[in-house]
Amino acid sequence: QVQLVESGGDVVQPGGSLRLSCAASGFSFSSYGMHWVRQAPGKGLEWVTFIWSDGSDKYYADSVKGRFTISRDNSKNTVYLQMNSLRAEDTAVYYCAKELGRGYYFDYWGQGTLVTVSS
């Protein structure tokens, strides 16, 4: 069965950096694009970024463009989110999600990892 397991969430000071990882299993990882979606405490969902199956193209939300970088290692079945210049408003649960394969929807999600930006 499909499994997505995020890790790397932590408490970090404003202006700091953090790298999240998402280990995938149960499907042909190199055939699917992958997303990161976040949810601030008590708030709704916000799409963050997407990477194509081969890593050749990436898309970002304006709120993170220039600060966050998505990447993947298909040999390790893992997608990453490098987060720099973190702000208080980046505090959220970060989910990785697999694309449906028929468009940019999210058919499997991880359990999420909490990032808290606070001094």
Partner 1 sequence: EIVLTQSPATLSLSPGERATLSCRASQTVSSYLAWYQQKPGQAPRLLIYDASNRATGIPARFSGSGSGTDFILTISSLEPEDFAVYYCQQRSNWPLTFGGGTKVEIK
Binding site for partner 1 (CB under 8 A): 35, 44-47, 50, 59-62, 95, 100, 102-107, 109-112
Q: How far is the CB of 75 from partner 1 (least distance, A)?
A: 26
Q: Which value, in Å, is the radius of gyration of the alpha carbons in the chain?
A: 13
Paired tokens of 61:
């939300």
- Taking the least distance from each CB to partner 1, the nearer of 1 and 75 is 1
Q: How far is the CB of 80 from partner 1 (least distance, A)?
A: 19
CA distance 110 to 102: 20
- Taking the least distance from each CB to partner 1, the nearer of 32 and 106 is 106
Q: How far is the CB of 95 from partner 1 (least distance, A)?
A: 6
Pairing status of strand 78-83 against strand 68-73 = antiparallel
DSSP result, 77-100: TEEEEEE-S--GGG-EEEEEEEE-
